[in-house]
């Protein structure tokens, strides 16, 4: 935000930079001036100059406030309070609810409505004329979100506030009673319709439940569902146990030995756990059955171990006989060994057959259980679905029955002989007697002062943005690249005595004289050119910028310094220098250019040693083109002879072409500017014209400079602020 205002305040304007001449000597031409954009500043200086705008705006604001306070008649007011107690809504359904956030807003707007106000005015016997504004002003507020409404009626007629406020409260309460009476009928009708509708819906739900009970016994369904769920869980557990036994037996694991189980054990286990169609729903095998299987398996193992032991003993005996008696004696035992080997093989074959039979039996039982489990799952799901449907029907009946009972109870509680009490309004404070309204004159004056101040600042700022006139010498330095020779302070000069602006010997205006001494030193010691300029043309962009006074004072000060100076009046339209010196109708420049006088005849003494004066001469109707004659160059050459300075007071460069014709005959041009008078666009046009006319050097003198430009340099020498010393 701060950056935005800074950019707004620094509105840009143009700045001209003078480029140095090239080695060929070119440079006194408009093409050697570069224009760029720079910020426009000095708003505070502009505001200081336009102080009267602030005073005028503040005075107008105060006048408007006082006029308003004077025109406004004395007013009286009456005060009352209403209190809303009890519930603001009935518990009969959402269609009767009124949001507490908007309730009091509705009541406030109702009290301020034109309908109630007109009814109150009519009740007290006041009939306003057509198009006439209401004679009373009503304000209704709700303090601190309470249940209290504060009413205040203000009127210029002291007899109206109390009577009108009482009539307004009566009309408001009557309107509320009528509204409640109408609302009671609507509520009863609405309740009756809803009771009938809910009764029909309840009957429909009860019929649905009765139809369901005709084909379903809920209690039996509940018991069957629990039994079927438990049995399904047992089947799943039994199936998992059989699959585990089948996997262990397929891998050849045995609880007793690490060899495959005996045929007897497998057979007993298969027979115990085998499913059949008659016993599909039988309970699972008990631990006693498993113990019997292990005992039968243990006897089969003992037979196998006994046969193996006998075979080992026979083979060991055969080896011993062979080692003692040779192979012949050992062959006698081959039959016993072969018989025992055959017995072992037979027993192992029987065990293997029993193992395979047991696996086959387990596979059949597993398949039978896997086939029966989906059937039981379907049966359980059907039972659960019918139980859920029964529960849903019960809930619907309970919900509809509860809503029906609630509506029926509400309908029975409504007293049709009285109003439906949505809220109870009471008068907390009756209308007070009329009292005079206190006037806040001090506050009004304070607001007027603030408004006038901000209005004036805004007006001055807008004026500042639209105004391109110079405010201070810094504007010249910011916008142009030419040298500022010096500043001349502002002094008071009576209009009837313009000669009082001239510097006299022993002049007590030390600051004013000192400023011209600075101009003298700047001119004598100027480093703008290698050769000090001898012929100076003083001009301006517009009239009344002070060029005549500045040029004559500088000429006088140079002459008093011992220099030979001639001052020439080159303004053929006004002859300002001639009038300032009271030269009358003496021969001058125009007479010489017409050939009616020679050069020595037009040079007159000025009364100051070392200073000569050349007036404008006799002005006639046929003076067009005189400055184009070659005699002008001859005159300038004559004036330069044996003189240190030739100062020409020309006409404004934009107001007369004569000054432009004098430019080629001078060494330097001095543009005189004036704050809050000279426009920057006019100075820019004047500079363009001067450089197009081959001006060798252009510089500025800032006349009537303000105190902020002088920065206190001349204050100690007798130059005070413009408000005290006036203007020159």
611-614 and 565-570 beta bridge pairing: parallel
Residue 142 lies in a domain: yes
3-class SS of residue 537: strand
Handedness of CA 90, 95, 98, 99 (dihedral sign): positive
Residue 198 lies in a domain: no
pLDDT mean over 55-82: 89
Confidence band (pLDDT; 50, 70, 90) for 10? Answer: very low
Handedness of CA 102, 103, 109, 112 (dihedral sign): negative
Please, which residues have CB within 8 angstroms of residue 319's CB and are 6 or more apart in sequence?
330
Q: What are phi and psi of 139, to 5 degrees?
A: -125, 130
Co-location of 607 and 714 in the same domain: yes
Co-location of 35 and 52 in the same domain: no
Average pLDDT of the chain to the nearest whole number? 79
Confidence band (pLDDT; 50, 70, 90) for 528? Answer: low
456 vs 678: CA distance, rounded Å: 24
634-668 exposure pattern, b = at least 16 Cβ within 10 A, e = fewer: ebbebbbeebbbbbbbbbbbbbbebbbbbbebbbb
pLDDT mean over 284-300: 48
pLDDT mean over 160-173: 89
pLDDT in tens, 202-224: 888 888 888 887 777 777 778 88
Residue 601 lies in a domain: yes
Q: What is the pLDDT at residue 724?
A: 38
Residue 58 lies in a domain: yes
Co-location of 498 and 377 in the same domain: no
Q: Indicate the Cα dihedral angle 672, 677, 681, 683, nearest 10°.
A: -10
pLDDT in tens, 711-721: 645 544 444 44
Co-location of 51 and 172 in the same domain: no
Around 251, how many Cα atoms within 13 Å sit in the side-chain half-sphere? 8
Q: What is the pLDDT at residue 36?
A: 56
Q: What is the pLDDT at residue 362?
A: 84
Co-location of 573 and 610 in the same domain: yes
Its domain, for residue 138, covers 77-191+416-435
Residue 578 lies in a domain: yes
- Among 54-63, 122-131, 431-440, whose mean pLDDT is lowest? 122-131
Tokens linked to 684: 């820019």
Residue 162 lies in a domain: yes
Tokens linked to 122: 């009519």
Co-location of 453 and 488 in the same domain: no
> What CATH number is given to the structural domain containing 92?
3.30.1890
| DSSP string for residues in 579-596 | HHTT--S---HHHHHTTS
Radius of gyration of the chain (CA): 63
Residue 399 lies in a domain: no
Helices 287-325 and 263-273 meet at what angle, rounded to 10? 170
Co-location of 428 and 498 in the same domain: no
Which of the pair, 293 or 514, is modelled with greater confidence?
A: 514
250 vs 575: CA distance, rounded Å: 140
Confidence band (pLDDT; 50, 70, 90) for 92? Answer: very low
Q: What is the pLDDT at residue 383?
A: 84
pLDDT in tens, 400-451: 888 878 877 777 766 544 444 445 678 888 899 988 888 788 888 999 999 9
Co-location of 147 and 19 in the same domain: no
Co-location of 244 and 174 in the same domain: no
Q: What is the pLDDT at residue 670?
A: 95
Co-location of 597 and 716 in the same domain: yes
Co-location of 136 and 280 in the same domain: no
Strand ranges, E, within 243-380: none
Please, which residues have CB within 8 angstroms of residue 99's CB and are 6 or more apart in sequence?
none
**Is residue 269 pLDDT above 60, yes or no?**
no
pLDDT in tens, 567-609: 999 998 888 888 888 887 889 999 999 899 999 999 999 889 9
**How many domains is the chain partitioned into structurally?**
5
> What CATH number is given to the structural domain containing 706?
3.40.50.300
144 vs 193: CA distance, rounded Å: 41
**Is residue 131 pLDDT above 50, yes or no?**
yes
What pTM does this model have?
0.50
Co-location of 374 and 306 in the same domain: yes
pLDDT mean over 510-533: 82
Q: What is the pLDDT at residue 344?
A: 83
Handedness of CA 50, 53, 56, 58 (dihedral sign): negative
Q: What is the pLDDT at residue 85?
A: 66
**Is residue 474 pLDDT above 50, yes or no?**
yes
Residue 206 lies in a domain: no
């Amino acid at each position: 935000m701060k950056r935005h205002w800074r950019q707004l305040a620094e509105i840009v304007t143009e700045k001209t930079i003078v480029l140095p001449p090239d080695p060929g000597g070119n440079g006194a031409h408009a093409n050697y001036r570069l224009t760029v954009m720079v910020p426009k500043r000095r708003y505070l200086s502009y505001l200081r100059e336009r102080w009267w705008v602030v005073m005028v705006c503040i005075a107008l604001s105060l006048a408007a406030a006082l006029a308003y306070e004077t025109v406004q008649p004395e007013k009286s007011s009456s005060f009352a309070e209403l209190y809303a107690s009890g519930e603001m809504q009935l518990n009969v359904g959402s269609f009767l609810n009124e949001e507490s956030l908007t309730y009091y807003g509705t009541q406030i707007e109702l009290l301020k409505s034109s309908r109630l106000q007109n009814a109150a005015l009519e009740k007290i016997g006041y009939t306003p004329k057509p198009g006439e504004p209401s004679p009373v002003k009503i304000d209704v507020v709700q303090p601190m979100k309470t249940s209290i409404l504060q009413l205040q009626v203000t009127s210029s007629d002291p007899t109206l506030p109390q009577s009108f406020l009482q009539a307004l409260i009566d009309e408001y309460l009557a309107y509320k009673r009528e509204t409640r009476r109408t609302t009671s009928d609507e509520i009863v009708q609405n309740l009756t319709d809803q009771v009938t509708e809910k009764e029909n819906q309840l009957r429909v739900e009860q019929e649905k439940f009765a139809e369901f009970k005709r084909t379903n016994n809920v209690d039996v369904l509940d018991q069957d569902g629990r039994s079927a769920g438990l049995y399904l869980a047992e089947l799943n557990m039994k199936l998992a146990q059989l699959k585990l036994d089948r996997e262990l037996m397929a891998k050849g694991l045995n609880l007793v030995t690490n060899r495959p189980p005996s045929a007897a054990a497998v057979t007993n286990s298969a027979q115990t756990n085998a499913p059949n169609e008659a016993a599909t729903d039988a309970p699972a095998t008990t631990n006693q059955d498993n113990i019997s299987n292990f005992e039968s398996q243990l006897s089969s193992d003992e037979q196998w171990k006994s046969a193996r032991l006998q075979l080992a003993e026979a083979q060991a005996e055969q080896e011993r006989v062979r080692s003692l008696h040779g192979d012949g004696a050992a062959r006698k035992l081959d039959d016993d060994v072969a018989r025992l080997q055959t017995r072992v093989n037979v027993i192992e074959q029987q065990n293997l057959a029993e193992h395979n039979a047991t696996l086959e039996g387990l596979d059949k039982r597993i398949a039978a259980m896997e086939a029966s489990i989906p059937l039981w799952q379907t049966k359980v799901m059907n039972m659960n679905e019918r139980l859920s449907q029964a529960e849903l029907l019960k809930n619907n009946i309970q919900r509809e029955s509860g809503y029906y009972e609630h509506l029926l109870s509400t309908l029975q509680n409504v007293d049709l002989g009285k109003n439906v009490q949505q809220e109870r309004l009471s008068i907390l404070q009756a209308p007070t007697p009329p009292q005079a309204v206190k006037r806040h004159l001090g506050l009004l004056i304070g607001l007027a002062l603030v408004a006038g101040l901000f209005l004036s600042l805004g007006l001055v700022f807008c004026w500042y943005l639209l105004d391109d006139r110079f405010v201070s010498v810094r504007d010249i330095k910011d916008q142009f690249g030419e040298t500022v020779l010096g500043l001349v302070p502002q002094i008071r000069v009576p209009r009837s005595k313009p000669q009082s602006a001239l510097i006299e010997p022993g002049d007590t205006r030390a600051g004013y004289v000192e400023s011209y001494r600075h101009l003298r030193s700047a001119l004598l010691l100027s480093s703008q050119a290698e050769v000090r300029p001898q012929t100076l043309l003083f001009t301006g962009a517009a009239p009344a910028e002070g060029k005549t006074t500045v040029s004559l004072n500088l000429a006088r000060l140079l002459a008093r310094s011992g220099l030979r100076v001639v001052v020439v009046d080159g303004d053929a339209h006004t002859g300002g220098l001639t009038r300032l010196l009271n030269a009358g109708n003496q021969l001058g420049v125009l007479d010489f250019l017409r050939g009616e006088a020679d050069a020595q005849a037009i040079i007159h003494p000025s009364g100051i040693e070392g200073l000569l004066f050349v007036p404008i001469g006799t002005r006639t109707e046929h003076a067009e083109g005189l400055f184009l004659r070659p005699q002008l160059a001859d005159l300038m050459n004559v004036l330069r002879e044996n003189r240190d300075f030739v100062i020409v007071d020309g006409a404004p460069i934009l107001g007369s072409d004569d000054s432009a014709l004098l430019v080629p005959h001078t060494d330097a041009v001095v543009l005189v500017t004036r704050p809050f008078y000279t426009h920057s666009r006019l100075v820019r046009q004047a500079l363009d014209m001067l450089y197009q006319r081959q001006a060798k050097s252009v510089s500025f003198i800032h006349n009537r400079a303000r105190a902020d430009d002088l920065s206190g340099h001349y204050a100690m020498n007798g130059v005070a602020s413009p408000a005290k010393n006036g203007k020159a």
